[in-house]
Amino acid sequence: MAINCGIVGLPNVGKSTIFQALTSAPAEAANYPFCTIEPNVGIVNVQDTRLYKITEFIKPQKIIPTVVEFVDIAGLVKGASKGEGLGNQFLGHIRQVNATIHVVRCFDDSDIIHVNGKIDPMDDIGTINIELALADLEVVLKKLENIPKQIKSNNKEISSKAKILLPILEKLVVKLEEGVPARLVDLTDEDREDVSELNLITMKPSLYLCNVDEDCLSEENEYVKTVKEYASKDGSQVLSICGKLESEIAGLDSVEEKAEFLEAAGIENSGLDTLTHVAYQMLGLKTFFTAGEKEVRAWTFKAGSKAPQAAGVIHTDFERGFIKAEVYACTDLFEFGSEAQIKEKGKFRVEGKEYIVKDGDVMHFRFNV
């Protein structure tokens, strides 16, 4: 399944620098606003040690990790929802992603221009969140305009759906007018499904990515503490990253050099690894594996998926013609050393359509179409 996260924020807060470092994909980074016009897209492998450990026991021709797509969206400004700074174009790009990563500048540097002339994370966050809420408000109001006509429709299905949507849309209007993100509005899962076709930006999971200087990776500064306090009420996660440091890491050629650099800097994991795993968690995603001589591969699935749904991640025919799944935990492979030993120990299972797939399962699907 495709997973993509949009990197958003004010101009000149370090979005493109972080994107470039994380993905090693080309993105123009410069010290002036609106450097990015079209969204840059980078595909990042999710570093999962289990995938590579599996290959110690099952030797494949290919190893295929799962990936996250990062989209670097041009800087938004106050008035973006009304088209300021090419805002409507940028907001359209954000609607296409699964989650938003909101880069917030949390460092002082007089040599780097801030679009508002001062470093104030809360003001920056407020500007972006209000613009996103106003953009969603416009979408909801447009939908609401057609509801009275649809309620009067002779088509019972259209009329019934409109009656269900009316109170949901009215509730969203009230909160979005106050600048409250749609994800924080008191709606049931069913309500959210009913308005999912609107693809509201503020309904998407969100992460605040604090761009800090190197010193603040070990000890939080006041800017980061302020963002964390706000995020605890906003229902969002927070992660700190040093864009400058990540750029240096990205510039190294080998895995060994990067590992040595991280060790010297006293950092356990790179920002790339941490961010991709947090993105996974934020979207409620898990990983299962397929393993054989041809390839060992990681697959992404939604937590709580049943075996046929997981099979559908590989191919729709697998889900349509699902018969059964042969399953064992990757940890059992690490403990017992081979599939033959896993079977001997009674850890090899055959599961049916109701099986809830677990993170780290190694699966082989039987199907007939």
Residues 86 and 212 both lie in one domain? yes
* Contact indicator for 48, 36 with CB cutoff of 8 Å: no
Residues 360 and 277 both lie in one domain? no
Residues 81 and 215 both lie in one domain? yes
Structure tokens at 109: 């540097």
Residues 211 and 354 both lie in one domain? no
Residue 230: HSE in the Cβ half-sphere, 13 Å Cα cutoff: 21
Q: Select from 161, 158, 206, 167 the least CA-distant residue to 188.
A: 167
Q: Select from 69, 67, 76 the least CA-distant residue to 5.
A: 69
pLDDT in tens, the chain (369 residues): 667 888 888 877 888 788 888 776 443 443 333 333 355 777 888 888 999 999 999 999 999 998 888 888 765 555 544 544 444 455 666 788 889 999 999 988 776 666 666 788 999 898 888 888 988 998 999 999 999 999 999 999 999 999 999 999 999 999 999 988 999 999 999 999 999 999 999 999 999 999 998 877 777 889 999 999 999 888 888 999 888 888 888 788 777 888 888 888 777 777 777 888 888 888 889 999 999 999 999 999 999 999 999 999 999 999 999 999 999 999 999 999 999 999 999 999 999 999 999 999 999 999 987
Residue 264 covered by a domain = yes
357: domain CATH number?
3.10.20.30
Its domain, for residue 359, covers: 304-367
271: domain CATH number?
3.40.50.300
* Contact indicator for 221, 105 with CB cutoff of 8 Å: no
Residues 8 and 123 both lie in one domain? yes
Q: Which of 249, 282, 315 is the last residue of a domain?
A: 282
Residues 37 and 85 both lie in one domain? yes
Residues 125 and 235 both lie in one domain? yes
Residue 126 covered by a domain = yes
Domain count, the chain: 2
Residues 275 and 325 both lie in one domain? no
Amino acid 354 reads: E
Structure tokens at 225: 């503490």
Write down the pLDDT at residue 87: 41
Long-range contacts of 333-337 (CB under 8 A, 24+ apart): 333/54, 333/57, 333/58, 333/362, 334/53, 334/57, 337/57
Residue 106 covered by a domain = yes
Please work out, in degrees rounded to the nearest 5, the angle formed at the alpha carbon of residue 154 by the alpha carbons of 153 and 156: 90
Find the radius of gyration of the CA atoms of the chain. Answer: 23
* pTM given for the model: 0.80
Residues 123 and 212 both lie in one domain? yes
Write down the pLDDT at residue 363: 97
